[in-house]
Amino acid sequence: MDQLWDATSLIQRGFNSMLDYKLYKSKKANCSETIVLIHGLGGNYGIFCHQIAAYKKEYDVLAINLPGHGKSPSTDSYDMPFNRELVADEVILLLDELKISKAHLVGISLGSVAVHHLLQRVPERVQSAVLGGAITRYAPLATFMLRAGNAVKAFVPYMWLYKMFAYIMMPKANHASSRKLFIREALKMNRRDFLAWYALTPQVNAAYANVQQYSQNIPKLYISGEQDHLFLDPLLEDTKSDEQAQHLILEQCGHVCNVEKPREFNDASLAFFNQHSSTQSSISSAL
């Protein structure tokens, strides 16, 4: 794995500004651990509105807007090609700037792909990972959708594509809140940035390919909705051999499980973080 995390070298390679972020300090005295929130395509750190208040009771919380989202640099502002390596570099550069040497990660939807890539690139920086609506590879319908979108993306409004995918991924009435949230937030994204991210979607399989090999000692909790019809079956198949992976499948829930079932998501993820905190690890080692 290439070590690319020296801040000076990253700036020289075209990283001229930091990602947009909010850092929420914990209400817990002497808190020394951080949860990092990574959203999916078209969203922003606002999709974690139901998690931040719960998390910051016990942990510092770093909410990130990825390139092309919120006030973060646009995807074409770099002096290098926009790819998943650049996204990982940007996240690590921000952690370095904030002096966060190790963190718990939360990734939602395509944010889980970013987390998987970080698990391969810098596993030593990850304390544990919670992945909601995780994507490891595409089922046939998802593959067909992406290819169809690729064929027409040059001459149709990008929001047509986004809305179509939103309704196919989240088709049921109980998915309406997450569907509306993602469509609303995607309207804040420009076409150029959307298409740059869309071009990365074929790299999903590669982002998971060596996760188990490089993150053998990192606990992972996959939280999915039972109605996540495009991604759940491939996820369960791909992760069944990962001894560090746990699964929670939420009933009557679709793809964006942190929005549709926030209480269940928060309770499970906080219990998981507490189980795998550095403080708990130190106590277990002492015993």
Q: What is the CA radius of gyration of the chain?
A: 18
11: pLDDT strictly greater than 60:
no
261: pLDDT strictly greater than 80:
yes
pLDDT digits (tens, 9 = 90+) for 109-151: 999 999 999 999 999 999 999 999 999 998 888 888 888 888 8
188: pLDDT strictly greater than 70:
yes
Q: How confident is the model at residue 221 (pLDDT cuts 50, 70, 90)?
A: very high
**CB neighbour burial string for 203-217, b if at least 16 within 10 angstroms, e if fewer:** ebeebbeebbebbee
266: pLDDT strictly greater than 70:
yes
Residue-range domains of the chain with CATH: 7-286 (3.40.50.1820)
Q: What is the pLDDT of residue 286?
A: 38
246: pLDDT strictly greater than 90:
yes
For the entire predicted model, the pTM comes to 0.90
Q: What is the pLDDT of residue 171?
A: 94
Residue whose pair of structure tokens reads 């995607």 in the numeric block: 186
User: Of all residues in the chain, what percent carry a pLDDT higher than 90?
Assistant: 68
pLDDT digits (tens, 9 = 90+) for 153-173: 888 888 888 898 899 999 999
Contact 179, 172 (CB under 8 A): no
